[in-house]
Amino acid sequence: MKNNFFRSKYFILCLVVIFGFALISLGRESYRYFQTSEEIRNLERKINYLKEENDELLKIKETFNSQDFLEEEARRKLNMVKEGESVIIVANDNEPTVDEPEAQIKKISNFKLWLKYFFEK
């Protein structure tokens, strides 16, 4: 009787159904594994990119915090000098100086300049 049960159509049908479910389950898990692996690779690429960007930003920060950079910016933007240094100011020949009478005449209020701009064309 045992031999007949293993050779019966119902037993073979049950084996095919179980095998089918196993194949479907294996396919789903393989697809999930592939998706997870792809996501891990993308995240690793992003991590490497962010590490490189972080290194660049740290280098820039070090440059901005260096004494030489701060000194140069103070000289250029704030017109500061070190002790013992002399400052030489070179005047532009095209601009009139305050002592010239033409400069006194050319000083017109902003309101009058705007009126002239809009209404005298």
pLDDT digits 0-9 by tens, 100-117: 555 555 677 888 888 888
Write out pLDDT tens, residues 62-110: 999 999 998 888 888 888 888 888 877 777 776 655 555 555 556 778 8
Helices marked H in 66-107? 67-78, 101-106
Report how many domains make up the chain.
1
- The distance in angstroms from the start CA to the end CA of the chain is 116
pTM, rounded to two decimals: 0.49
Q: Smallest Cα–Cα separation from 94: which of 80, 106, 86, 77?
A: 106
For residue 103, the one-letter residue type is A
The domain in which residue 9 lies consists of 2-119
